[in-house]
Amino acid sequence: MNNSVLQSALREWTRLGRSPRLWATFAIVVSIFVAIGPSGTIEDMGLVERAAFWTLLHGAAWTVAILVITLADHWLAQYLRSQALLLAATALVAAPFVAAVVELMRWSWAGTEPSLASYGRQLLVCLPLSVLFSLLSHLTMSNAPSASVSSRGSEDPEPKPTEDEPPPLLARLKPALRAPLVHLTVEDHYTVVTTTKGRQLVLMRFSDALREVGSIPGLQTHRSHWVAVSHVAGLKNSGSRLHVVLKSGAEVPVSRSFAAHVRDRIGET
């Protein structure tokens, strides 16, 4: 695992740790478990011991789940475009780890000896909890309301922002590069942002970068490429491959899943 993944994951862990939504949900879930006392804890433990047990158990389980989900999210994001599939996949990856933590906590605290059967039961219980962890992680890490890019292309064109309302993405760039956006692409776990004054690598997910282009009319040509419509010169066929040609002369690949949408949009400009 390279350093860029760990650096990006560390930033997300820090943001998650500061999330009021995460802590409020944690408190509610723990309170429910303390009140109900599942797994025989209401008969075997007093209120104080039960509160300590479920707080420590959930604390350990949530910590492991969020660490695993964050890392899995970075690894799987390059293969899964759908947020729903990504959420489900990260939950499936995390569930076995969470179940193992729960079994170890029960063994160390209550002396309940682990077995394959008990681990299987814990896995079934921990799967929906992992979905909750994954959902919380995605909601917390979202930088904007859930206006996502469709599988056929970019959002519908909107009026260009005024000079007083630059796209949020520009604030991440060096001042010397803050100019009209031209092209976004993916390089490892970075997004490469190209403006009319140059390019810069920004440590953020491509999906988050797309949300920060603001109301600039744009066009997604590939799962890892976006172009500003105003900087498109035309289309070019290279054998069986289609490319968008920018006014700078650069060529941006068009994947088959985006080809029809690209042709429609370029034909209208």
Q: What is the pLDDT of residue 245?
A: 92
* Cβ 161 vs Cβ 167: under 8 Å: yes
Q: Rounded to whole angstroms, how far apart are CA atoms 27 and 106?
A: 20
Rounded-to-integer distance, Cα 220 and Cα 231, Å: 13
- State residue 142 phi and psi, 5-degree precision: -70, 130
Whole-angstrom Cα distance, residue 83 to residue 90? 10
- Give the span between the Cα atoms of 201 and 34, in whole angstroms: 47
What predicted TM-score, i.e. pTM, was given to this entire model? 0.46
Smallest CA-to-CA distance from 154 within 206, 217, 77 is with 217
What separation in angstroms does the CA of 108 have from each of 61, 104, 114?
14, 6, 10
**Which residues in the chain come in under a pLDDT of 70?**
1-12, 15-16, 39, 74, 77-83, 86, 136-164, 267-269
Q: How far apart are CA 230 and CA 29, in angstroms?
A: 50
pLDDT at 74: 65
Residue 106 pLDDT: 79
Q: pLDDT of 123-143, one tens digit each? A: 887 788 777 777 766 665 543
Residue 232 CA to residue 225 CA, distance in Å, equals 13
Q: Where does residue 105 fall: left (phi above 0), alpha (psi -120 to 50 degrees), or beta otherwise?
A: alpha
Torsion, CA 28, CA 18, CA 192, CA 183, rounded to 10: 60
Per-residue model confidence as pLDDT tens digits over 170-217: 988 988 899 999 999 998 778 999 999 999 998 888 999 999 998 889
